[in-house]
Amino acid sequence: MANHKSALKRIRANEKKRLYNRYYAKTMRNAIKSFRLLTEKEEATTKLPGMISMIDKTLKRGIIHKNKAANLKSKLTMKVNAL
């Protein structure tokens, strides 16, 4: 166990950040999963900007890598175009 005051604070801060990151990553994954199950083009077209915004916010928070964000946005856009 850590003995320094700053190390104890770092442990507390890291735990808060871990839970924060886990919440936003899981929320994004669930939204993407439900988006991929859509079958109507009109509905998917209206929800696509919201999905892209959610992915960009997750990227901005540093939860996912920029290449992963680009891949997700590309695949979701291709899915909508294929409907």
pLDDT in tens, 26-51: 999 999 999 999 999 999 999 999 99
Mean pLDDT for the chain overall = 93
The whole-number pLDDT of residue 83 equals 87
User: CA 75, CA 56: separation in Å to the nearest integer?
Assistant: 14
Contact 28, 67 (CB under 8 A): no
Domain spans, the chain: 42-83
Provide the angle, in degrees to the nearest 10, between the axes of the packed helices 5-36 and 66-82. Answer: 10
